[in-house]
Amino acid sequence: MKKSRDWFSTLAIIGGLLLVLYPTISNFLNLRNATRVIEQYSEAVDELTDDEAQQLMDAARTYNAKLAGLSGIPAAEGGWDAIDASTAAQLREEYMGLLDLTGTGVMGYITIPRLDETMPIYHTTEEKVLQVATGHIETSSLPVGGASTHAAISGHRGLPSAKLFTELDKMQLGDIFYVKVLKETFAYQVDQILTVLPEETEALAIEPRADYVTLVTCTPYAINSHRLLVRAHAIPYLPSMEGEVGVMGNPINLSWPHLALIAALILLAVVLAGMRLRQLERRDKDEFLEERGGAHAAPGKGEAHEHAGRHFK
């Protein structure tokens, strides 16, 4: 019975550790997958000629110009003049085929030094995308820079399986992040942080001549009644920034309370293991003494029998 209790205690500690470590283990696996996706994307980009890459970029920028045109921005300011009723339907059909170099829906990746994160950017914000990476909000501009563009990139917050935009609320005015698409890298500096209701989308509108990227997630943490919008404007990408682009994040996805709980469980496991070891040592000692006691008792009996035999003779 005591042995069963010992096994139960051990299994309970192991189960507790696995439960607490699940976010880190899962985030590590998600990070490995993101690294593999970005490496495959980079390899596909390297195989493109400069002319091929420019053609793909030009198609994306034409798309953005038409999207700006739907907002009433003329060609002189980065929009599109030839807009008619069929333009919106045409853009929806074009969207999925643009910048999808590997056929997986990846259009590039984003590096956010403040969050210690590099994540693929996929087409759309479907749930299967947001469970593993960031998604491009398809009603916004493609993230290829240029006048009259406003790309919106969405990510989940608080997933136990992946960090993603969990710490987006740590972003500060002046922070810089990077977007890599094809052979070009774009740098953006945060200039506005807003909390709005889900239906309040005015802050995502395309503005004439502006070049914005907004990062979007749910807030407050675990309640998700509002949206956190972290907007940034384009700044020159400098050679000194190159070392920050594509740096993968730390896989540890644990808060201080979780780390404290892990430490407590490990300490408890060590204490229980020590107690169990002492119990085994005492048991072995007792068994040894019993064996020695039996060995001493046996000759005594023999001598008694021999004495009795001599007496009857």
Q: What are the residue numbers of the active site?
A: 156, 218
How far apart CA 221 and CA 160 sit, in angstroms, is 13
Cα separation values, 27 from 15, 24, 171, 283, Å: 19, 5, 21, 44
Cis peptide before 220 (omega within 30 of 0): yes
Specify whether the CB–CB gap between 68 and 206 falls below 8 A.
Answer: yes
H or E stretch including 307?
helix 256-312
Name which of 88, 148, 156, 149 is nearest 119 in CA terms: 156
**What are the residues facing 119 on neighbouring strands?**
110
Chain-centre distance for alpha carbon 161: 7
Cα separation values, 273 from 11, 262, 287, Å: 12, 16, 21
Long-range contacts of 257-266 (CB under 8 A, 24+ apart): 258/20, 258/23, 261/20, 262/17, 262/20, 262/21, 265/13, 265/16, 265/17, 265/20, 266/17
H or E stretch including 8?
helix 2-46
H or E stretch including 171?
none
